[in-house]
Structure 1
Amino acid sequence: MKFFYPAMIGFTALALSACATTPANLPTAQAQLQPTAGNTATGLLTVVQQADHLSVSLHAQGVPPGLHGFHVHEHGDCSSADGSSAGGHFNPTKEEHGGPHAMHHHVGDFGNVTADANGNVDFTIDIPLTQLTLDPAAPNALAGRSVILHAVADDLQTQPTGNSGARLACGVVTLQK
């Protein structure tokens, strides 16, 4: 009996700490970004669906310093050397291209990310579920699409792409649970 109580206390503490660090059944998705031909950019996109939004984060490396357009593209296909197999911007609502906080924009317009002097990107954005969701049955589903990191900054105006140049890296978004 003298070992029972310390063991129970230890087990309870372990169980409670696990609950504090693990979200309860929140849908998640990831995409491993791989470089297109002649480029070195790689990264990991992580998406967690919250009650009313998607929490999106990108951690990348090997990216030329500066601003780069970052978008969801219509096809979950990164098989071509230049990333063109991903198709155009994901735009099921047929809106004009714009920044992620503009009144009118593609649901996949994430705006620009910044690569530091060492080529590292740490980017986060919250996207309303009315714009994108991880529900694979929804017309605005992110899962099964690709994400593209572009060579230059998105000007947030030029139609239909923001004039963000070539595709540096591509990854397909897949549900994790």
Structure 2
Amino acid sequence: MKNLKFIAFLLSITFLVACKNEKKTEEVIEVEKIEIEKIKTETTDKKTMTITLSPKSESTVSGTVNFVQENGQVKLAANMTGLTEGVHAIHIHQTADCSSVDGKSAGGHWNPTAQPHGKWGTEGGYHKGDIGNFNVEADGLGAIKMMTDEWCIGCGDENKDILGKAIIVHQGTDDFTSQPSGAAGARVSCAGIIE
């Protein structure tokens, strides 16, 4: 009888250990699944979009702006035609509304963090929409590229999400000091950042 009780005791300990090990194995498998899903999400978060710039303020400035989001970074590549020779500013503005003839329907610079206007990346502060200046040669062609982790495409974070905003190309140069817009002059081209 004692032997039967002892055997029953050993079997119950074996069963408990087996159940604990099975639970640990299930937990390890679940953690591994979560890690795999995280890796898949991080490597497949690539989003691309291209928007078309339309002339404003009686200009002939047009072009395209490409956005690529990958691995937590957004790359911008803008190519424009019809510009006058010299230095021009380009910014992201508050609203994807290019309906007015002067582009002012797009509102002011996109500035969700309420910073002063300035040069991108400087310690004195800058708007999330302060892209900067680019050069245009006599042929009227202009281009600018940049990359940042301060933007996202459709992530829902109001401090980073560029969807629903607009790209504005200006006739003049951003002086990076005049508030709130850098005294960049007329808005000569506009495109809503919409999918």
Under TM normalisation by the shorter chain, which class is it? 0.7 to 0.9
Equivalences for 1:116-135 in 2 at 5 Å? 116-128=137-149, 131-135=150-154
Structure 2 residue 121 is matched with structure 1 residue 101: yes
Find the counterpart in structure 2 of residue 169 from structure 1. 189
Structure 1 stretches of 4+ with a deviation exceeding 3 A read: none
Higher normalized contact order (CA 8 Å, seq sep 6+, divided by chain length): 1
Question: C-alpha offsets along residues 70-126 of structure 1, whole Å, 9 cap, x if unaligned?
Answer: 100001100000000000000000000011121210001001021121010121111
Per-residue displacement from partner, 1:22-59 (whole Å, max 9, x unpaired)?
A: x9551122221100031010010000012132110001
Cα displacement (A) at 1:65: 1.1
Q: CA deviation at 1:135?
A: 2.4
SS of the residue corresponding to residue 105 of structure 2 reads helix
| Distance in 1, Cα, partners of 2:145 & 2:108 | 22
The question of whether the paired residues in 2 share the 8 Å contact of 1:30 and 1:174 is answered with: no
| Contact 2:45 2:70 survives alignment (8 Å) | no
Higher strand fraction: Structure 1 or Structure 2?
1
- Report if the CA contact (8 A) 1:67-1:112 is conserved: yes
Residue 113 of structure 1 pairs with residue 134 of structure 2:
yes
Identity %: 31
1:54 paired with 2:83, answer: no
Q: What RMSD, in angstroms, separates the aligned Cα atoms of the two structures?
A: 1.4
Q: Note if contact 1:29-1:143 (Cα within 8 Å) is conserved in structure 2.
A: no
| Matching residue within 46, 50, 59 for 1:39 | 59
Q: What is the rounded CA distance, in whole Å, between the counterparts of 2:57 and 2:129 in structure 1?
A: 23
Larger Rg: 2
Could you tell me how far apart the structure 2 residues matched to 1:30 and 1:74 are? 18
Distance 1:59 1:146 in 2: 15
Equivalent position of 1:67 in the other structure: 87
Q: For the residues of structure 2 that align with 1:158 and 1:29, how far apart are their CA atoms? A: 32
Distance in 2 (alpha carbons) for counterparts of 1:51 and 1:74: 25
Q: Normalized against structure 2, the TM-score is what?
A: 0.74
Unaligned runs of 5+ in 1: 1-22
Consecutive unaligned residues of structure 2, counting only runs of 5 or more, are 1-42
Matched length: 151
Q: Distance in 2 between matches of 1:136 and 1:73?
A: 18
